[in-house]
Structure 1
Amino acid sequence: MPVLDKFNMVSQGAAGNLCWACVGWSVARYYDNRAGVPPRWSTLCEYVMKAADFLDGISPESTRCCDGERLLDPDCNQSRILPDAFRVSSNQGSVRERALSFQEIKTEIDAGRPVGVEVESSSAGSRAIAIYGYDDSESQKVMVGDPAPDAPDGALIPYDELCFGYRHSDATWNHSYLTVP
């Protein structure tokens, strides 16, 4: 079963709007680790402050987003779209406004590239997750990194469930974000 060994999803903890940052930072750490270089950001808070600076022009010196790993400023706990996260870390590849086929997932994982996914639900809103492995031995399953506090990292779920009904019966996978080192 191919899995990206050095990939670990960061939990968003109590910061409910940061799934985009957790996925972006996890992908950035994966590529840094794979390249054998130190991580560019030590904490999720550092990554969120970099995003505020890079995307909004808010200098890290002008805000107190964090105290260690705890978010202090509600302005830092903002929803964003997943491409913003990949732009901050320069890991943005191409975007597909659809679910990837299982074969496309295999191609990305076999090449050592995690895939960012946006799942939309009318009952729960939008959620960012990552795919970093697959199993096609008996059925098509994907390994998902979900930063939600109640989601186990490394859940192996049926591909069809990710496409339709991931964590909510009305959820659909509507965008795919390919990543680059």
Structure 2
Amino acid sequence: MDARADDRWRGGLLAGLAVAALAAGGWWWWQAAPATGPVPAAVGSAGPTEADLDRLVLVSPEDGRVVAGPEADPDEPLVFHQEPGDPDATLISHTVWQDRSQLTPAGPPVVRQTSPSRGDRYLLVVSCTGTGKLVVSFSGSDDDGSDQPVACSGALFTVTLHAAGGPLRVRFTVTGGDVDLNARLAALF
């Protein structure tokens, strides 16, 4: 064999090994990828398990306020539960949107919107910290009302909204100083 043939043979072998390495890497990458698809609800039809007992909270069916239970962390999934047999038991279906923003008096308001069907129920959970005062207003709900001031002490402000059939819009504005907002809108069963 001459030198050219030997170089072609080595080049072909090197190209074949490179293709095999790429194929093996692609297969590994595909196998290691996280699963995608819908996320299951926090509580199935069987209700909470014993492992969920440290995360149970009691929610008032009238206004959606947390009545009893451990302090809620907006980053953690919550199981909303009332006594068995209560026809107004409030269970979270899924989170529609979550917003973490820093608001300033000179900056624009934060506006979040969803397009629900008439009669859909939602739980709006808001907390904030900072030197300013947060004002929450909403439209597109049967319960539309005046602006709701929220003290930015880190405490939770919750309200149940009943969709009127059009866009459901929630607006956050601030006065008197900067505010770190943490808000979540969750659909209720």
Greater C-alpha radius of gyration = 2
Q: Where is the helix percentage greater, Structure 1 or Structure 2?
A: 1
TM above 0.5? no
Q: Normalized against structure 2, the TM-score is what?
A: 0.31
Q: Where is the strand percentage greater, Structure 1 or Structure 2?
A: 2
Q: Normalized against structure 1, the TM-score is what?
A: 0.32
